[in-house]
Amino acid sequence: MTASTAAPLTAPRVLSLIPPMTQLNTPYPSTAYLTGFLRSRGVDARQDDLALRLVLELFSPAGLDALRDKLRAMPPKKRSATLTQFDAEFDRYRATVTPTLAFLQGRDPTLAHRITSRMLLPEGPRFASLDVYYDPDGGDPLAWAFGALGVQDKARHLATLYLNDLADVLREAADERFEFVRYAESLAMAQPSFEPLARALAAPPTLVDDTLQRLTLDTLARHAPQVVLLSVPFPGSVYAAFRIAQTIKAANPSIVTVLGGGFVNTELRELTEPRVFDHFDFITLDDGERPLLALLEHLAGKRGKSRLVRTYLREEGQVRYLNLAEPDVPFAEVGTPTWDGLPLDGYLSILDMLNPMHRLWSDGRWNKLTVAHGCYWKKCSFCDVSLDYIGRYDTASAELLVDRIEAVVAETGQTGFHFVDEAAPPKMLKALADELARRGRTISWWGNIRFEKSFTPELCRQLADSGCIAISGGLEVASDRLLKLMQKGVSVDQVARVTKGFSDAGILVHAYLMYGFPTQTVQDTVDALEYVRQLFDAGCIQSGFFHRFVCTVHSPVGQKPEDFGVRLKPLPPISFAKNDVGFIDPTGVDHDALGVALNKALYNYMHGIGLDQDVRSWFDMKVPKTRVPRNFISRALGY
């Protein structure tokens, strides 16, 4: 079927799918948003999570049997120590995989005692990481992280290492592209040509591909959809989405397949590759509500093709983009997300990184909700402010937000929320806290903010009372010069005061940090690390992560590089994905080498280690002495 020959569909059943891979601990929210919205408009909308189902199938007794068959088909000389260890202890792996996953799903918590005994699970190469915590006195090497009573957490960490061992075996023996949070990412990320993806789709299927195909056919049989929506938030879910669509078209070409999501919205805005439409009938950009309403009307014969909204299709062998100007559905009218149909009791709470904020991303099932659409600031020069998901700011009332919260709690039985805003506005958070207090509603929540002065100590305490347990925010490069160049609208001393207010209210504070920004010098980097050291030492932040700056074509840096003192490297001809773009910085700094030291220092600071050391001690190269006074943060805090 092509877009031009589609037969009218009356009241089509719509199935939204989460393709591998996204998260293991909680559903990616896009299908929940779309399913809730479509149901509010009378559409028979359903959803499923093939990412989770794939993992549960691969890491089951039958899945391990199939994996061992693949391993034993390999020549012995090609088997690594990882594969040899798995084969030698296969019976133990097969016997423990089901109870271990049940433990990680929260269905068998008492197994923690056996897991922490270190006698139940076979231990492969991933357990070597525990040597980092070796106790020369013969004590528990993980006591520093979990203490004597942290049995559940310790067991979850050990079970996660066990699962990572199995993933390593799968990668070596069956599919080198597999990872838990991304799958075949390199085939899609900033990939100018569709050719690598096309070759992978034409290649013989791997064990992972075969399993995904079987799960896709089972899902089609259960739901009998006429339209299938595949939401791809990241490059690491694109290949699997195409494999799913390929399976659907082979099984029933009349099913309409639609591609959307964050990856599409950022990287496929200049799509000209017709072969994409061998798998997908339509591709929609930006928020899906309005394009999907138009598309469903078109499929039902109620709207002409020329009146589609933000939609790609193939016509006479060429890619065509149709965009009738219609207003987006207001944020207040998008409905309440629903998790109905998703296997909520099957998600895995894993604990691979001991960073306290990263743990929130991977441990526990959080209801994901949005306080406001877009970003109220939308000025940061490194951010994709030209795109709709950031540039179009729209809010709803606090009463409506709490109505949605109450509906989600009633459906899921769980009161934990992750607010997934780019930057939750302080005015809305205060109104939300007021309304939660008025209704006497108890929840726990965390999310991302800007470290701006509106977050007074009084507001921080009110947010803590409303259920806020953690916040993250972008400090980026802790340098007033670079913060001004970035148009962050904050200063280092302001960040210190705001983060201290949150910390004093008992809220965990995580700082997003950046290195390699245009014109950032070695001196800037050393000074930034000194600011970060002082913020940890003063108890302003408890967690952080350094990201390498990446220039994107949709950001102010990518659109006006001359304003930031850099030149962009030329891109090849683009027919598929376009996002990242290299640049030439006249400073010539080796940021990759500096990044090793930054992350080493940060890891130690999070554990209270090295806070009294000169920051130069973390670098393997000679770097200049910091220009930052050692009491800068304490003075900013009024000490």
pLDDT at 3: 44
pLDDT cut 90: percent of the chain above it? 86
pLDDT at 357: 78
pLDDT at 477: 87
Count CA within 13 A, CB hemisphere, residue 113.
Answer: 1
**DSSP characters over 92-160:** HHHHHHHHHHHHHTTS-GGGHHHHHTTSSS---GGGGGGGGG--TTS--TTHHHHTTT-HHHHHHHHHH
pLDDT at 275: 98
* pLDDT tens-digit series, residues 3-50: 444 456 667 899 999 999 988 999 999 999 999 999 999 999 999 999
pLDDT at 137: 53
Average pLDDT value for residue range 220-226: 97
Q: Is residue 150 classed exposed, middle or buried when 0-12, 13-18 and 19+ CB atoms within 10 A define those classes?
A: middle
Q: How confident is the model at residue 136 (pLDDT cuts 50, 70, 90)?
A: very low
pLDDT at 639: 82
Lowest-pLDDT range, 70-74, 184-188, 217-221, 544-548?
184-188
Residue that wins the pLDDT comparison between 97 and 152: 97
> What is the rounded distance in angstroms from the CA atom of residue 479 to the CA atom of residue 529?
10
Q: How confident is the model at residue 138 (pLDDT cuts 50, 70, 90)?
A: low
* pLDDT tens-digit series, residues 463-522: 999 999 999 999 988 889 999 999 999 999 999 999 999 999 999 999 999 999 999 999
Average pLDDT value for residue range 196-216: 97
Average pLDDT value for residue range 270-277: 98
The closest alpha carbon to 606, from 527, 515, 473, 509, belongs to 509
Q: Could you tell me how many residues make up the chain?
A: 639
pLDDT at 407: 97
Does residue 113 surpass a pLDDT of 50? Answer: yes
Does residue 166 surpass a pLDDT of 70? Answer: yes
> What is the rounded distance in angstroms from the CA atom of residue 554 to the CA atom of residue 123?
45
Does residue 169 surpass a pLDDT of 70? Answer: yes
Average pLDDT value for residue range 531-553: 95
* pLDDT tens-digit series, residues 407-455: 999 999 999 999 999 999 999 999 999 999 999 999 999 999 999 999 9
Neighbours of 221 (CB within 10 A): 9
Cα dihedral value 38, 39, 45, 51, nearest 10: 80
> What is the rounded distance in angstroms from the CA atom of residue 527 to the CA atom of residue 533?
10
Question: What's the chain's average pLDDT?
Answer: 93
